[in-house]
Structure 1
Amino acid sequence: MTALDNPNSDLFDPNASPQEDAGPEPVVYLVDDQQAELDLLQRWCSQEGLKTETFNQAEDLLKVLHADSHGCVVADLRMPRLSGLELQAEMSRRELTIPVILVTGHGDAENCRAAFQQGVFDFIEKGFRHEEILHAINSAIRKHRRDRFRHQVRKEALDLLRKISPRETEVMLLLAGGSPLKGIAQELSISVQTASKHRGSIFTKLNIDNEVDLYKMLLAAEVNLDVGPAALIPPAP
């Protein structure tokens, strides 16, 4: 079953349950040069039933992270060699989308602003209660799971849409805009019968039943419906 086939998913609900796409078991990657801090966070995560991997420096984490890593990173802001902010910057450069939570004993507005500008998921001062950090970790994991699911849905939708011919793309845009077959025929200077055949071919190629399903698929593909047919579907990577 593909993500598009999941009958229980609401692709457009930002609060959709992450259980819709269980995927691989998430891992909480803990990075701190202070072993005592690592041990404490690992114990709290274990009590929550979360799988962890620990690292004393960010460079070691970067050796194991990859595009399919699932979960979140909890890293100290200030570490020798590579700081938490530098870790986030390097992950962004490598297009690693797993969320990062930075913890610090030196919280200030400048570091906080820099962290969020770089795309850090959360920024927490040390001295936090275990409930606070675990809430942030679970929120980050849920967000990453949703993002992974939506990315997979978009990929599958685009793969299907690339099967549509240029003429069918013109018909598809008009269908998505609510035009009836007669209006499509007039707009494209074709017969109603030909417009109907294009409609049937589109639905078959996309494995959908009606215009509502078509519109949902276009939303899932995150295409810009305001552009012309030629620019609607991006080429395959």
Structure 2
Amino acid sequence: MHKETVFIVDDDASIRDSLSLLLSLRGYATALFANAEDFLAALQPDWRGCVVVDIRMPGMSGLELQRCLRERGPSLPVIVITAHGDVAAARQAFLADAVDFIEKPFDGKQLLGAIENALSGFRALDIAQARAAFTKPTLGQLSIREREVMTLMVKGLHNRRIAETLGISPRTVEVHKARVMEKLGAQNIVDLVRLVDKGLT
């Protein structure tokens, strides 16, 4: 699953096969599952793409699968399909961030549009996460002295005490503190403590 894949989860084999054929003809990779439990058992954190899931299946429903995926954090976007649509189910699906809620029999263009929207959103999230990881503040941005000053700052020591501990002047401490705050993007000492508690590397 190293490329974007449309994961089809439906207990109806004819639906799975017809969707797979439709999507394959449009150049999409597909993976088929007869129920939500099998999909969750196979699910890997590096899977990319989106999920097309039937709302009513033996065992776990499509909405329950959607909720499980959402609870795991940023994950595969979900398109819900159903032959028994109602306002309450649609509302529940959209509240859990479904990309679309499509009633059977559905128009192929509608489904393809929903899938492309889902994949576009997934790509955008992927880019945002990559940018966040790239810009994440790290201790590697600090000099050895700045790290020493930061360690004493989060312990609550004042400038004069930090200066005495490190054998430098209070003015030099102020300069190092300013650089620490700027490099780590902290607005105040509370922000700094929060960053350190989150585990800067």
TM range (shorter): 0.7 to 0.9
The 3-state SS of whatever aligns with 2:8 is: strand
Query: Counterparts of 1:28-47 in structure 2 under 5 Å?
Result: 28-47=6-25
Structure 2: distance between partners of 1:53 and 1:81: 20
What is the number of equivalent residue pairs in this alignment? 176
**Equivalent of residue 83 in structure 2, options 105, 123, 128:** 105
- RMSD (CA atoms): 3.3
Name the structure 1 match of 2:165. none
Name the structure 1 match of 2:139. 162
The 3-state SS of whatever aligns with 2:121 is: helix
Structure of larger gyration radius: 2
Query: Counterparts of 1:155-234 in structure 2 under 5 Å?
Result: 155-158=133-136, 160-163=137-140, 164=142, 165=146, 190=171, 195=175, 228-232=191-195, 234=198
Name the structure 1 match of 2:107. 129
Structure 2: distance between partners of 1:236 and 1:121: 34
CA-CA distance at 1:64 after TM superposition: 1.7
Deviation digits for residues 57-105 of structure 1, max 9, x if unmatched? 1111112212211000000001111110111122223336111110011
Q: Does 1:50 align with 2:13?
A: no
Structure 2: distance between partners of 1:48 and 1:125: 21
CA-CA distance at 1:231 after TM superposition: 2.9
Quick one: structure 1 residues 83 and 95, their matched pair in 2 at CA, closer, same or farther if it must change by over 3 Å?
Answer: same
The 3-state SS of whatever aligns with 1:116 is: helix
Q: Which runs of 5+ in 1 are unaligned?
A: 1-23, 169-188, 207-213, 219-223
TM-score, length of structure 1 as denominator length: 0.63
TM-score, length of structure 2 as denominator length: 0.73
Equivalent residues of 2:50, 2:119 under 8 A apart: yes
Structure 1: distance between partners of 2:79 and 2:70: 14
Q: Which runs of 5+ in 2 are unaligned?
A: 151-169
**More relative contact order in 1 or in 2 (CA 8 Å, sep 6+)?**
1
Q: Does 1:142 align with 2:120?
A: yes
Name the structure 2 match of 1:235. 199
CA-CA distance at 1:225 after TM superposition: 5.0
Structure 2: distance between partners of 1:31 and 1:161: 41
Equivalent residue letter for 2:27: G
Q: Percent same amino acid among aligned pairs?
A: 33
Equivalent residues of 2:10, 2:54 under 8 A apart: yes
Quick one: structure 1 residues 113 and 225, their matched pair in 2 at CA, closer, same or farther if it must change by over 3 Å?
Answer: farther
